[in-house]
Chains A and B, each alone.
Chain A
């Protein structure tokens, strides 16, 4: 079945329990993508359209790297695919490139940037850290995970980050605690100064990072991951309230000012299609990588 499809898997790695990395042959996307953007993948004829952030790209070889967590029906099916097999549809790049990339160089050079990656959020953080280093900037980075086994892309990010800090909820690796504990530690105890925080991870984590950075008065960029269908702006499934405006994450984002996003509304919308069965899967699996017990999807 999948051998007739266009978008061939050229590499597959298991990064952690149920977290996979894949290289996909997609020359048009590879030629035009930038950190911060995403793709939409459709496994086969009957599949749904799944948005996935771009983790890396190789323009010369026409390769785009994606990282995904096998949580629901579609991503679990994706995880069963092997090198040499292919997906039916793979389109992009979608969304705007990272705000940092479009910032005037002179302005960016004066900014001290801290990346905060929660769980699988390390995948979209990685290309941004890499881009900054390759363009002469020196960003710091925090990776937060549930435990040692769920820390992904550590070596890759370490290669480009000025300082890399790791936190685990259970203290099995790095600092014990969540990413906010680490931010407080760096800013309030070690006296580090940051002008911009880029936080990417589960919505609940981005919400709490934004609350903290508001208190600390640090500009914060988050990358929103609402439900999407087409990813090109034609349906509004991914709409969010930012400030007092309705925005479509797929075309106006996915990056927004974390201090303006209505996270509570966004999290409610994220739970829209969770059937009773789906909620159960989520509690069992995703619940483990979440950092906060108040998360919407933990309730009920």
Chain B
């Protein structure tokens, strides 16, 4: 074999997968995983670990794969991560662990994400789950939000013996893992549910349909229901719109709405009651992972889809793998283009979109070249559906109903970076609620840090 190249992974053929919602990437077999694992040179000072927000002992678990002891590989990962089957699938490894892999200097980095996924899938198929703690300390901690940050924090606290209850506003736990990321990237029944069941096996209670700030407040949880600490992992779920004319027309959706209908409510499956509008010609405005997810969902529902992005291909914030998959599936890309107006027919439906050409100007504060409109470059594209994927903001519901909880101008909760401690004693926060929209694994890293800080806070309090 060529040690410079990673073992190829099987994927559904593009011409087949555009007609279904089944997972695109099919994963490694045991032999393939062993072969890929053997490419790891077991560095003494593994840089890959530094690139992982939850610092998984990567050479450690890979070494177990080489030995063929997959159960032990799972035990190694489980010390660090609550959601390996999920992270192995959705982490942007190319900018994290794999970016720093020594193998990547001369050839291709070791496929760490795919190996993590293999181990987690193998453990699930062989009914191997993390073991509940022997001793419970009876101290109640509330976790708000059951996305990646909350689930990770809950797992670590449960393993330390705490009596953890997770409160979730929607009817299913998982946050963006269930409403945002589509089936074809992250299967819900097969992957997300069992991972959440593993948490229940650790003794974590999950209460769905509870909207903190409405159904009950943090103050009440602490003063009346006996919770001694709270972790807020409520995410950044509020969609942005552009504020252009025609944006309220029928056929204009936020990516959140479109994806929630399809993923959480399973509108793509005719056995479920929630409807979705497919559209024949769909424009998705934006260039992040959410835009790719929305575009590929619309495509699978039968539409001809174009991504409209105001910068050039180089600046696309979406993962390279996602852009590659989108292109393979036949999604069109219109770069350096920005919508100015949504054109509406007499019945209130979208009939087109007036766009303007852009060119890249000087670098902005984030180091990206700022797109500037090209004068008199207006043109019209014919579309019947527009999906706005312009990023999200944190929901103000919790901060506005919790006494003494400070937020910044963007509505993000202000915390101590090391501990996740907020301005309110006993209340910690992490994930998108603090940073604004970021990645699954960053949220997990924040949940992990906060669990440690909550443990230390409660130990100090008892003394």
Chain A residues with a Cβ under 8 A of chain B? 28-29, 31-32, 42, 46-49, 73-74, 88-94, 229-230, 232-237, 239-241, 246, 251, 265, 268-269, 271-273, 275
Contacts of A88 in B (CB 8 A): 171
Nearest-CB residue, chain B, relative to A31: B216
Q: Is A272 a contact partner of B277 (Cβ separation < 8 A)?
A: yes
Contacting residues of chain B (252-301) with chain A, CB-CB under 8 angstroms: 253-254, 256-257, 260-261, 265-266, 271-275, 277
The complex places the Cα of A89 from the Cα of B170 at a distance, in Å, of: 9
Q: Say whether B237 contacts A272, CB under 8 Å.
A: no
Main secondary structure of the interface of B (DSSP, over half): loop
Whether A235 contacts B271 in the complex (CB less than 8 A), given A93-B214, A273-B277, comes out as no
Which of chain A's residues have a CB closer than 8 A to the CB of B260? 229-230, 234-235
Q: Are A273 and B237 in contact (CB under 8 A)?
A: no
Provide the bound-state CA to CA distance between A269 and B249, in Å.
7
- Bound-state CA distance A268–B216 (Å) is 35
Q: How far is the CA of A268 from the CA of B179 in the complex (A)?
A: 27
What's the count of A-B pairs with C-beta under 8 Å?
107
Cβ A49 vs Cβ B214 within 8 A? no
- A73-B273, A272-B250 known; A235 and B256 CB under 8 Å? yes
Q: How far is the CA of A91 from the CA of B208 in the complex (A)?
A: 9
Q: Cβ of A233 and Cβ of B257 under 8 Å apart?
A: no
> B257–A236 contact, CB under 8 A?
yes
- Whether B243 sits at the interface, judged by CB under 8 Å, is yes
Contact of B265 with A91 in the complex, beta carbons under 8 Å: no
A234 touches B215 (CB 8 A): no
User: From A239, which residue of chain B is reached at the shortest CB distance?
Assistant: B248
B239 contacts the other chain (CB 8 A):
yes
CB < 8 Å neighbour of B395 from A74, A232, A241, A268: A232
Measured between beta carbons, the chain A residues less than 8 angstroms from B208 are: 89
**A235: chain B residues within 8 A (beta carbon):** 239, 254, 256-257, 260
Given pairs A29-B215, A91-B209, 16 additional interface contacts (CB within 8 A): A42-B171, A46-B271, A49-B274, A74-B273, A89-B209, A91-B171, A92-B211, A92-B215, A229-B257, A229-B261, A229-B265, A232-B237, A232-B395, A233-B237, A246-B243, A268-B250
Q: Cβ of B126 < 8 Å from any Cβ of A?
A: no
Interchain CA distance A269-B208 in the complex, whole Å: 30
Write out the residue numbers on chain B whose beta carbons fall within 8 Å of the beta carbon of A237.
253-254, 257
Q: How far is the CA of A12 from the CA of B347 in the complex (A)?
A: 39
A93 touches B215 (CB 8 A): yes
The answer to whether A91 touches B169, judged by C-beta atoms less than 8 angstroms apart, is: yes
Q: Is B348 an interface residue (CB 8 A)?
A: yes
Contacts A48-B274, A235-B256, A273-B275 given; does A28 touch B239 at CB 8 Å: no
